[in-house]
Chain A
Amino acid sequence: MHKTQFVRTQMLEPEEPPVSSRGMVGWLHANLFSNAFNAVLSLLSLAAIYWILSQVLPWMFSPTWYGTSLENCREINGPAGGACWGVIRERWLQLLFGFYPSELYWRPIATFLLLAVALAPVLFTSVPRKLMYFTAVYPFLMPWLLWGGSIWNPIVAAMGFALGYGVYRVIYDHFGNLAASIGALVAPVLWWLFLAAPASSLLQGVIPLGIEPVQSRLFGGFMLSLTIGVVGIALSLPLGILLALGRQSDLLIVRSLSVGFIEFIRGVPLITLLFVASTLLNIFMPPGTNFDIILRVIIMVTLFAAAYMAEVIRGGLAALPRGQYEAADALGLDFWLAQRLVIMPQALKISIPGIVSTFIGMFKDTTLVSIIGLLDPLGLLRSIRADANWNGIVWELYGFVALLFFIACFSMSRYSLYLERKLRTGHQ
């Protein structure tokens, strides 16, 4: 009897998935044409993209870089029309620096390059820690570079901090912590109020060192937005933390003062606070005080951002489990140590997205200073568009300014995503 047996000795090669679910076609099927509704949406989107690109690209690539006026651009472009980039070539320096003297442009450029250096150790842990010393020096360097004047001014201001530290050490050895803290607060304030100005002018008289001073009214353009934004951001975070702690505090008076401040600031539009800065702040000060408009704006913007920051951080504090506070107490940490070592690192980590979006919001809000007459990019646009040569230009100018802000804000939000990923320690 003949027996036939069939046993396969080798496996079949697996077949490829059907054409409709692999490669390009599969991707298209899954992502663009999975059902009729999606197909319609995709086709509509494609049509919209095509329409926008067909309008924008020919408009963008127009040979008008050397156009001298809108009329001139129109002649170059002919009937097809197109962008008029001449206005950007002629005015981009103004949009960046305002009316800052052009021979001194190196100073704002150096300021913001050094800002990157000073921020690097704060933003990225892989940067050498030694750079932190430069970060500590930078707050004194920045105003001096921008506004100029005698080098002794920032040095004398920094000496206030050194004095505070010295007084703390001396008193601490003899009278204890509390007296030392009070002394460390009072001595620098007295120094700045009464001794700093004469000391600075004395030193300037002995060793005249300095760079050419620049008036605040010459500040403008994107540089002004950056200045207000950076200073406001740097000041509003610590102030916001203090306000949030005040709001969470058990002390009734401290809490009600914080709540009142936060709710008031959050309840009014920033523009009203800027009106206060431009028209009223001098009324609140002793007669004869007249301080710089940019400084006034920075104060108001900082207070504004600090109130929002406080709410964001309060959210982070509230999200911490109660056990963390109790554990810190059980370790015997006092209030400030517990905050610094246990509570704040976690609360701030939770509130990173909120903190960064407050920063972004505040940086965008710096454009409001154009309403009270400062020449930030939007304020400059008004005068450029009123120029007879460029009257009628819309897209190029607004697009340029929007691009500047977009780059700044978008990189901040990307950084916040990076930081969130880096600090995520929970199980995933």
Chain B
Amino acid sequence: MTELADPPKESFRLGMLIYDTRYRSLTIQVVALIGFLVLVGWLINNTANNLATLGKPINFSFLNDTAGYDINQRLLDYNSQSTHWRAAVMGLLNTLLVAFLGCVTATIIGIVVGVLRLSNNWLVARLMTIYVETFRNVPVLLWIVFSMALLIETLPSPRDFRGDDPAASMVLFDSVAITNRGIYIPEPLFSRGFGDIPVFPDRSSEACVAPEPGALLNDSCGLFQISLNLIAILAVTGAGLWGSRRIRRRADRIQAETGDRPTTWYLRLGVALVPLVGLLWALGFHLGLPELKGFNFVGGTHLRNSLIALWFALSLYTASFIAEIVRGGILAISKGQTEAAAALGLRPKRIMNLVILPQALRIIIPPLISQYLNLTKNSSLAIAVGYMDLTGTLMGITLNQSGRELEAVLLGMLIYLGISLSISGVMNWYNNRVKLVER
């Protein structure tokens, strides 16, 4: 009787690393990882060698040095004695400002154009197609520098506003001046304002010592300052809207109980507006109008050419993409949906709100947010027109002055990466929320 031998023990052979699918994936990954590590190590080694030769090892302390340059558009207090760090923050705020403005206008224009492109009016649909194709097929940088050149070359200079028979005049009841140095619009001022509270004030510094008790502090006290006027206005507006909503709810309830809806529009308007007007009056709200003094306008808010050109070009360019997204989203909802909703007895407005829009938005929103992301990244082209955004400050003048290319570019990239990742985080959250759950 022959004894059954045990099945041959599977011994590990080197060839199995390649030919056995159980191990092959592991081999590939290890090889890929080693290759990647070798590449990174090689790059880091080169960088370290080169930086050592140049005599500037990686060091971020230059951010605390005095910047020594001016930023013409600043949302917080800044002067040339501030640090590079603060200059970068100013740049970041300017980036966010133009990105926000651009996203808002691009969305409005994009939706209007996208809907009009679907219009059954032949002429309007063709005009909108021309707009979309023109803007989509020409580089955004060209639009930006072109807008800038147009603003500078074609608008009247402040000099033209002078004299008895001026070549140019202010518009909108003499409150807005459109010049080749930018647009001057009225600014909101408060004669009896609450002042600002500094955040993280350094009490020992000179700026935070009030000249007399109760007087306003210097602008440069603290990291930044929060306007109490703004907070008060926001609070009163919010409370007014809340009250108005309460009244509407009450009217809804009464209508549900009795069938009669009380007339409430004057009440709602009053609750929303009266406290606000009262607060504005109490604060001594008035508009500071721009005035021509000497060779230039003073007073008012100065919207610089660079901001306007960038805002205008980015909005129109991105709007042409958004228009296509909106059009695609509406077209993607099949006609059967409308008909089914109509068969249920819904009125056209409710069909739009309850059936079409929720489905179209699910298609429109993700690419729309990625267009916002593109707009934010394209705002870095500000450097071409001298708008002082993050690229202009941190990766522009700061880089040139400190000679810290690696650190400045790295930091700038990380900040942009942070912005992008937070926007895509919002997008993923939205996608998950509205995702169709099938089966």
Q: A residues engaging B (CB < 8 A)?
A: 30-32, 34, 38, 41-42, 45-46, 48-49, 178, 250-254, 257, 263-264, 266-272, 275-276, 279-280, 282-287, 360, 364-365, 367-368, 370-371, 378, 381, 385, 392, 394, 398, 401-402, 405-406, 409-410, 413
Contacts and interface: CB of A to CB of B under 8 A. Distances in A.
Given A38-B120, A46-B123, A268-B377, A402 B146 contact: yes
> Chain A: interface secondary structure?
helix
Interface string B110-123: 00000000011111
A287 B153 contact: no
A257 B413 contact: no
Contacts of B420: 266-268
A81 B341 CA distance: 58
B230 interface: no
Interface residues of B, number: 55
Nearest to B33: A253
A41 to B, nearest CB: 5
A251 B416 CA distance: 29
A207 to B, nearest CB: 38
Given A365-B139, A394-B153, A410-B133, A275 B395 contact: yes
B414 to A, nearest CB: 9
A405 B406 contact: no
B380 A272 contact: yes
Contacts of B137: 360, 364, 405-406, 409-410, 413
A368 B381 contact: yes
B138 A405 contact: yes
Interface string B397-439: 0010000011001001100110011000000000000000000
Contact of A364 (B121, B140, B153, B380): B140
Contacts of B383: 271, 371
B49 A287 contact: yes
B124 A41 contact: yes
Nearest to A178: B18
Contact of A402 (B32, B33, B138, B149): B138
A368 B282 CA distance: 51
A32 B127 CA distance: 13
A270 B391 CA distance: 11
B28 interface: yes
B347 to A, nearest CB: 19
A398 B146 contact: yes
A45 B146 contact: no
B216 to A, nearest CB: 40
Nearest to B383: A371
A410 B399 CA distance: 38
Interface of B: 18, 25, 28-30, 32-33, 36, 43, 46-47, 49-51, 53, 119-124, 127, 133-134, 136-142, 145-146, 149-150, 153-154, 377-378, 380-381, 383-384, 391, 395, 399, 405-406, 409, 412-413, 416-417, 420-421
Contacts of B395: 272, 275
A394 B381 contact: no
Contacts of B18: 178
A31 B141 contact: no
A394 B149 contact: yes
B122 A287 contact: no
Given A252-B29, A253-B32, A401-B142, A283 B405 contact: yes
B134 A272 contact: no
A30 B125 CA distance: 13
A272 B29 contact: no
A269 B413 CA distance: 8
A251 B29 contact: yes
A250 B412 CA distance: 33
A98 B209 CA distance: 60
Given A272-B395, A406-B137, A284 B46 contact: yes
A32 B384 contact: no
A31 B25 CA distance: 62
Given A268-B417, A283-B51, A406-B138, A398 B149 contact: yes
B388 to A, nearest CB: 15
A254 B391 CA distance: 33
B378 A392 contact: no
Contacts of B46: 283-287
B139 A405 contact: yes
A30 B377 CA distance: 43
B413 A251 contact: no
Given A31-B121, A251-B29, A267-B420, A368 B141 contact: yes
B384 A371 contact: yes
